[in-house]
Structure 1
């Protein structure tokens, strides 16, 4: 249950009904207990009819938590504040366990506070990772406590758990550790600096590494910590003996051979290649690495390195040794058999009586098991064990960074996803099948996002997707959110195969964009959550944007995409053909143009629906259909001598061209129709040339090798570059209609058109002008050397039947009388 649940009175009872580890309570305005559930009594180790007073109930909680809980209860009943805290509960038998207390005010019809109610939830049995890892560390066996002191501290630095070794190391007199701040166990001269380091690590949620701290109990300690829930998990190690030993260490001292730690001694040569040679190793080295002493003496320590040995740590060692300084690192080494292991390596210089550097001594402790345990704890802290997705904590960390709470915000989108009617599945088929459904949902969501985006499970049936605009993955957040949210609706709307059952489900998605203005992770989650509830209110299986203006745009685009899918399914799209003519007025071919006449929208222009088809990937099947239709028509014309010379130009989108099966589709269409491939002309846009040019040219050469002709459409308005134009295996450039419209009145347009025509003449390419609407435009182009045209001067785009009639009526020379002035599509 999350804090949102606490605002829903019904949800508390629902949670109690389905959990044996959650108790429910209710009190009136005079703090009298009205209801105390049997589960509450059991949590307190009492009979089911146990109903304590207010004071008696508080006495069950640990001293360090009792005051805070009492204050939260008063604020709830006096100011109407809800609360959600984790505290320690002590049963009547003395058993202490961590519980989660959630409370809310009870109000009458007029809104006045008449009492309070809430739940007490035992955390550990529910398997929650956040805030309970300290209990998990105890249950993980001896791995974390095998001779090593271990404590956890909360966000104020107070000790919340300590194992037996920690008790012995920090408090020899037996005084309790729980509740005391960790830095109070060290000498005053280091205490202030230690407190500052802890506060910094807790605020920034970063690892902590402190060496040789002077403790109050007169020994030296090493301390290492890592983020853990809202606080830190700390390993403590008594290094007093090592400190004393290093002060007196001499070459080949007899005790070295008997150390349990790995010991390597090398000559004092420079660290650069070939580096210092090994002159001594102890028996612990031989046992752990599998190398014998004779196999390594005289060789470089590099023989212990492998593919995962950290370059950064090796650089630290090199830098320190060049300065004759001691250095300590955690390093991955390899045994003779190639098995990796972790070693806590401490490298120190050794001098003789004259202060001359004689050797390097490296003392290493095998910490492989500790590292594995740390990885387990990290996984429990940041991943959901059911779906293997990041959990709330990891999501919040990433969201805070993306939103720029510490500076440098990035643009992106946050999506809140809630499964529709999930409770029905749990109630009818059971929680086991519900868990299976959640696992399938997690896998489908991962497939909907790009690498680097995050999909997290907040709890229950709630998921969140975070997509970011980064230098490695630039994107327009609104466009990306539209595309990804539609993918999510489609993917989660597909049937789920559960054992013995085919389940149908949908989801509701709320989206908020960020990065334009300052925001926090909390605000963004609330916005996305609110938008999700708006999607629920709209009937479920829907997407809603938090911003009203963006919502209007997104709704219109979603409606257009839905209409386009329906039009494709119902065969409401059609192909029209616009003639292309030569200098003598004879028709040389046609361009195939896609048209959509919507029953209510009317004629929808290609500039409106083609981008939507691109975003939804509908352009792939639609483009293939147009290609099939063009090849089939060429096959029909090939049987008629008066039509056999005609070609058909087909527009190819960027997404269609880059599809891995595009070349195979063209080959299949040409072979199946039996046409002459040179009669098929593919028109490519300049945007195709914006990136990955070498791969694009390779594909174009494949098409050229099979005989298909290639044209660059709308030339001059995109990514034109003479440096690559000469590399393209093309046959034709098509002058964009934007330059033709004002060619007689705009000197710049006239100059650009003339330049393109001259360029084609010099490169041996054909040139055709589109958008020719007047005889004066045609005559000007002819004088410049362009003798092939397309436009309303000759004919508007026509359905196939009308095109055939036009060809029959015009004969060998189509009419040059312009159609009524209109903007060509």
Structure 2
């Protein structure tokens, strides 16, 4: 029971402070056992921690039975509601106290307890004025605490009429304190909440609950109310504490919005969109009408975002979402999937597959058209396009399945040249399945070092060998020969390229070490392709430094081939890395030059050594004037900046002759040498 009173003590609100401020002893004593169930701070200061002890033993000296003066010694005084006054001189401190007792019902045990308040009257004649002052202070403390709480406090009589308020309550409700006196408790409650309040207000103690309250102006606001009935001077009153939770509700709404809507565009996010997809799947399966799942990816957005900054990128995404919302119907759902990707759910409401496809094509073409329209951001113009993958359905499926299919179709649209849309079909599924198998086998091949390295010689004007390019070759036990054009992109997508790239570099460095004693090969330079993700690794340059130091090779014989897109991603960081690598002695080549977003500005900043003309410009150079013009321009850039320029993919004498006439000095291709193992070089 003592523990229960301690717990009860914790639950007392502001009135607990009033009791502790009183210059009086306050106890609660069980009238059967004489155990002290509660004591205030004043009591603890005088006698220490007495809770749980027998009163006449803890508060008196050398006493083993109840005090003779104690009213409880008279059984007639052990009556519920009985009030008693008596004086007693304490044998521990010698002080005389005037006690006021009250016999009350214990709400926890159901038994009777005595609430005892003792005032020190040892020097009554002298301290009468001090006693009055302390009483006044107690009242002032009560008023101060009553008005200092952040809650609005309203005290009602037994008829639930307002009899007192603190300073906060009128401010919350828009009344003056005088206006509130006499008003009914339900006068402050909005009509929709009255049934609830009418029920709980009859409970002796009510845990906090939410209602809508109404101000004098008629405006309502959400509030948290808790109430408790108290017996004061034999009169039952009810104290209600009110907190305005408008801001809390607004924050809850904001949290909910963030949970289901994209913070940038305010479109539904993946979580909410998934629910809508599941609803349409059920509807389509029930009525056999077709729905469509469109996966929209913005072409070239990544380049803009990386070169112009996220602020510009975000503004483009916001504008894009506005454009898309304008062309969809109210029955369709648009969401931002993440990054530069949007997803659109269309309810065609058509049972005929071909009619549904025609309807979807119309929407897809509208999307392509509005995305092509230039984006004007901060007086600058940005030209983008979109690639759209589409999956249609009219039976049971899942969000994940539709997403997988639409995502695959979207990549197929990109492969077709972007600014296009593609419907998912079984052939595309076959391609995706093949990719999954290749990735699985490739992961094993890399782990077991089953990827071989071939070397293709590079020649000069007189067809003398000046170096080689290291090329990955993979002949799988189950898949057979897998082209690098297939497995390298899959390694990129599957996150395997970094591990494999480091393996390739170390193998090449080992070969350079082997060739040091070869009179001819010791002079050959080896070119190594470096992927974007590999170059961006924070430890990439330090890995190369460690490898060169480990094998003690001539770093000048290592040429790293990087792409233009890699330089655009973070040009300042790229410049720093390239300068570090150049200080190590390595040379740098720009691979597939002319196929990306070439910029003379970055060429001027970078310490590069070579431009490599992409094979796509060499294939038709003999007959295509445009290709000839591009190659001529690249050779001119190389001469202007002092770079070596090498043409790759040279397969015929006609190509070779044409390139010689244009001023090209270095070549690579099947006309001269095919890729071969190091043993066959």
Please report the TM-score for the alignment, with normalisation by the length of structure 2: 0.46
How high is the TM-score relative to the length of structure 1?
Answer: 0.38
Higher relative CO (Cα under 8 Å, sequence separation at least 6) belongs to 2
More helix by share: 2
Q: Determine which structure has more spread, i.e. the larger CA radius of gyration.
A: 2
